[in-house]
Amino acid sequence: MRIELASRPRKHSFLVASAALLFATWILCLQAATESWFRSKGDLKHLERAAQIQPLNAELQQNIGELSMFPPNDDVPSALVHLEKAVAINPHSSRAWLSLANVYEITGEDARRADAIRHALAAEPRDTEVQWQAANLFIDSDLDSSLQLLRAVIQHSEQYAPAAMQVAYSASNGNVEKAMLAIPETTSSRLHLIRWLLDRNQYEATDRVWPTVLTSEGNITARDTFFYFDSLIERHQVQQANSVWSGVQSKDPVLHASTSPGSLVTNGDFESELLNGGFGWRYAATSGVTATLDTSTFHAGTRSLALQIDAENLIECGLTELIPVEPGARYRLTAFMHAEELEAAHGIRFSVTDAYSHAPLLLTDEVIGSFPWREVDGDFEAPAGTELVKIAFVRSPSEGIIRGRLWVDDVRIEKR
């Protein structure tokens, strides 16, 4: 469309309209710039000046309300006014609704607080903070809904997980099966719950949670369970520890490969890395002894355990393994050893002792000097009351200096 500007009145009108439009645009730009400058200061006074320029900015009203609520301002009535304005302008802001709920909590308006949290949950049902607030709101009136919300919190936030477990367990009156409705069915979450319960000495509850670990989604390794396994050993719960170990074997291919049919020793051929826990080999750093897995010298397979020894009055070499046994049953230990210039008045032996009382059950003949691979063996019986034994490399007597190298391979304990 063409605008004819031939006449003077028309030209005058067009110029006036254009000037008015430019002036309005300039005013709006100035207003926006001024508001932005006030907001950039971040303090309550400047934010209030910005709100006078732009009263329909929901985020600005929310910021003023939140600053008003807390020290040094402590102006709850002002916080209430601004936060109510914020949700009226933008009812889809979960954060504004949560802040408003906090104000209602301060003023003791429980019904309005609950309504604000419901609005927040409706606005952003997947927000962790909203789920956490809503879960705590519903905990007394709708436990199942609260537990489902806590489940989402635990699943998505490591920060909230311990507190969420506390709320779930307490609200369920210690009924761990009920509390587990709030725990995602993943191995990591269920193990996290076991650790949390152990920290609070809820031992019976941990034993009820364990079976769900094996049926949960996700991988699991032997090392993931050592904290629980050690708790069972400390509590003399050997049968449960053995059950845990068997369960982990079915889930951990590395551990499964470390077992040998007929033998109670885990990784007796040293083909896998030392686990340093569970029913695997445990290694404690020992002065004068260096333990390595040697791929150049072995009796069978591809590796053996090599001990480089240069010590005085050595009692143990630092390598041990716990073995579950049946009271009254007889067992046979066999192993292969090879030494080079192992010089000492007294050599290295295998010992088997009760893991709790330390009562001796077997002490094999000592090995010393230089010799090719040869078998070392011995028999022992588990006394009544003995469910767990410990095998170790020891010197007995321990007096004097011992130097040299010793290789060990194919350690087995078999029930006779």
pLDDT of residue 308: 97
Q: What's the rounded mean pLDDT across residues 88-109? A: 88
Structure confidence at residue 35 (pLDDT): 41
Give yes or no for residue 332 having a pLDDT over 50.
yes
Query: Which of 68-82, 174-188, 194-208 is least confident?
Result: 68-82
Per residue in 264-323, pLDDT (tens digit) is 999 999 999 999 999 999 999 999 999 999 999 999 999 999 999 999 999 999 999 999
Confidence at residue 69, expressed as pLDDT on a 0 to 100 scale: 73
* Residue carrying the six token digits 């699991």: 220
Q: How far lies 230's CA from each of 24, 233, 286, 332, 404, in Å?
A: 76, 5, 21, 26, 34
pTM: 0.76
Domains of the chain: 30-257 (1.25.40.10), 282-415 (2.60.120.260)
pLDDT band at 257 (very low <50, low <70, confident <90, very high): very high
Q: Which of 78-87, 119-128, 138-147, 360-369 has the highest mean pLDDT?
A: 360-369
Q: How confident is the model at residue 392 (pLDDT cuts 50, 70, 90)?
A: very high
Measure the N-to-C terminal CA separation of the chain; round to a whole number of Å.
Answer: 107
Look at the alpha carbons of 240, 242, 244, 247 in this order and tell me if their dihedral is positive or negative. negative
Whether residue 217 is predicted with pLDDT greater than 50 in this model: the reply is yes
Strand (E) or helix (H) holding 323 = strand 316-324
Q: Indicate the pLDDT class of residue 360, thresholds 50, 70 and 90.
A: very high
DSSP state of 400: S
The tally of CA atoms less than 13 A away on the side-chain side of residue 319 is: 27
Query: pLDDT > 70: what percent of the chain?
Result: 86
Q: Which helix (H) or strand (E) holds 305?
A: strand 304-312
Does residue 30 carry a pLDDT above 50? no
pLDDT of residue 152: 92
